[in-house]
Structure 1
Amino acid sequence: MNKQFEKYKGIHPGIILDRELKKLSIRQRPFALSLEEHPQTFNAITKGKRGISTSLALKIERELGLEEGTLVILQAYHDIEKTKRKETRKIPNLNILSKSLFWDTDIHHIDWVKQYRAVIQRVFERGNESDKNEIIRFYGTEKIKQALQESDVRNPYTIYKSNKPKLPNDIL
């Protein structure tokens, strides 16, 4: 792969292709037609909404004078990066958690990593034992201790008057 493209590892190859076309003052539609490719497909690729096939990548590389395999390698790195992001986005077992805990939000859009304090606080204020056990399993006891010590129970949505939510005795 050309050294100028090394810095783009993980970025969708269509976005890099779009930059190259703009740099060379080549319009997408005529370029797509010259490759005997549908302009809509080509546009979806340059917007990063669709992957690039090996055969199309080779055609584009030949036409633009890029090193053979550059776009395919970029696509592979993008796919790897996308898979890594999916793997790191782990969530607790939603079948165990009570639906009423997160009644005011779409539970599938919660960022369990960034919003851990609010999640832990809510579960330990309002959840039942199985909710608490699932959150303990998911975050671990140290993170829960830290979150509950840092949490401010006087938040407007808090219904309890106690100073701190209580942890099960086996955690303390």
Structure 2
Amino acid sequence: MNISLALKIEKALGLEEGYFIILQVYYDIEQEKIKQKKSRTDLPQLRPVLFWDTKIITIDWEKHKKAIIKRVFERGNEMGKNEIIRFYGAKTVDTILNNLFLNNE
């Protein structure tokens, strides 16, 4: 949205000046974060068969890390487990696995 249009809409709706531009900036920031996540080069190298039900290139590795860690530790081999520990860090993996274990008892 350009500034001219935003000012016209804000005036017509009786909104505070700059409201839509601020929203646009927040949207742009989120889009940039998504773009940066997709451009990571250190993504885990896992067997695609572990994620047979989804396209591995569309996975949001941060948003779904709990499910990813759970799946790899339930169905993956040692190489996959080590790769997940490398990617997320041992502390994060331990915390998530401990929480999963405690919630299942």
Give 1:72 shift: 2.2
Does the 8 Å contact 1:101/1:127 carry over to 2? yes
Aligned partner of 1:86 in structure 2 is 34
Aligned residues: 99
Compared CA separation, residues 56 and 100, structure 1 to 2 (3 A): same
The one of 22, 25, 47 aligned to 1:73 = 22
The one of 13, 32, 47 aligned to 1:98 = 47
* Identical amino acids, percent of aligned pairs: 48
The one of 57, 66, 77 aligned to 2:6 = 57
Higher gyration radius (CA)? 1
* CA distance in structure 2 between the aligned counterparts of 1:123 and 1:141, rounded to whole angstroms: 14
TM-score, structure 1 length as denominator? 0.41
AA aligned to 1:86 is I
Compared CA separation, residues 119 and 60, structure 1 to 2 (3 A): closer
Structure 2 unaligned runs (5+)? none
Deviations 1:91-130 (A, max 9, x none): 8715x111011113343246644551x4223323433444
CA RMSD of aligned residues (A): 3.7
Matched residue SS, 1:97: coil
Which structure shows the bigger proportion of residues in helix conformation? Answer: 2
Q: Which moved more, 1:83-92 or 1:120-129?
A: 83-92
* CA distance in structure 2 between the aligned counterparts of 1:102 and 1:62, rounded to whole angstroms: 50
Matched residue SS, 1:100: helix
Matched residue SS, 2:97: helix
